[in-house]
Amino acid sequence: MSVNDSVVPAEPAEFWLFGYGSLIWKPPPHFDRRIPGWVTGYVRRFWQVIMHHRGTPEAPGRVVTLIDRSYWAQLTDHHDSAPDKVWGVAYRILADRVDEVKEYLDIREINGYSIHYTPFHPAAGVDSLVLPRAGPIQALVYIGTPENEQFTGPQDPQKLAQHIYHSHGPSGPNREYLWGLENSLDALSTESGDEHVTDLSNRVRAIAAQQEKENSPADKSRAAYSLAGLGTESSQYHNFRRAGSVDEQEETEKTS
Ligand code: BEZ
């Protein structure tokens, strides 16, 4: 027996994937652990164009990417603060399924994202039995860097909210992605909120409420009357009644 015959095969390399966008609430296939936690050194922003899922090539939507914090600090962003920790979840992918999952993610998230690695910090209180070791875990993360064509850079928040409100794709309305992210971040920890996401969510809710109001039957008819320069619906009702009486009068005169 040679020395090499007695060597115990090494554990297959662990593969961890960090999700900070839709991966938080839409897990990849073939994972056996899902751990909430955070990474540092980045800022999460809705600065990545998406031409599928939540938009179309003709009318692309917006999704999140991570921006290197030191690069972001040089930009003029209307949302001028960002939490030190970018919260999300890390998934441990079964070793024999790693290639399959990478392929799945490349298909799912094409469009400008590239692969990076970053230390992931499990949230305080995560059972140590589910962790590979104490301390941060090296995790793969997909990032749309400023060099990629789909990167938009800083956006006016109200225009961005309008854009998200109006965008739709084969996976549904862009606003569901935004609100899905807001809800799933809230569920991770008491400190996992992200002002950029919350502010956009509030703005889109306000736009949706306004649209709903404008599309309600009562509001539509009010708008139609005022567009026609006919005053309010109730005054028009009275005008109509008055016109009705004149018609009736003319009718009476003709027949008499
Ligand atoms: C995410 O959900 O974290 C994500 C996945 C793929 C590309 C970019 C972000």
Asked whether residue 8 is domain-assigned, the answer is no
Ligand 1, atom 7: nearest CA belongs to which residue? 142
Asked whether residue 157 is domain-assigned, the answer is yes
Q: Indicate if the pLDDT at residue 30 is higher than 80.
A: yes
Distance CA 3, CA 255 (A): 120
- Helix H, strand E, coil C: the string for 101-145 is HHHHHHHHHCCCCEEEEEEEEECCCCCHHHCCCCCCEEEEEEECC
Cβ of residue 15 lying under 6 Å from some atom of ligand 1: no
User: Mean per-residue pLDDT for 155-176?
Assistant: 96
Asked whether residue 197 is domain-assigned, the answer is yes
Cβ of residue 21 lying under 6 Å from some atom of ligand 1: yes
Q: List, by residue number, the catalytic residues.
A: 109
Residue 22 structural domain: 16-227
pLDDT band at 1 (very low <50, low <70, confident <90, very high): very low
In 3D, which of 218, 204, 31, 18 has the Cα closest to residue 116?
18
The model carries a pTM of: 0.81
Burial of 139: CB neighbours in 10 Å, binned 0-12, 13-18, 19+? buried
Give kind and range of the element (H or E) at residue 40.
strand 31-40
Asked whether residue 11 is domain-assigned, the answer is no
Asked whether residue 233 is domain-assigned, the answer is no
pLDDT at 233: 39
Asked whether residue 144 is domain-assigned, the answer is yes
Asked whether residue 239 is domain-assigned, the answer is no
pLDDT in tens, 190-249: 999 999 999 999 999 999 999 999 988 776 666 565 656 544 333 333 332 333 332 333
Q: Where are the beta strands (DSSP E) in 113-250?
A: 114-122, 137-143, 168-169, 172-173
Asked whether residue 3 is domain-assigned, the answer is no
Q: Which of 24-28, 40-44, 192-196, 215-219 has the lowest mean pLDDT?
A: 215-219
Q: Among all chains, which residue has been given the structure tokens 């298909």? A: 107
| CATH number of the CATH domain containing 167 | 3.10.490.10
Cβ of residue 20 lying under 6 Å from some atom of ligand 1: yes
pLDDT in tens, 63-94: 999 999 999 999 999 999 999 999 999 999 99
Output the CA torsion sign for 51, 52, 53, 59. positive
Q: CA-CA-CA-CA torsion for 192, 197, 203, 206, nearest 10 degrees?
A: -50
**Total domain count, the chain:** 1
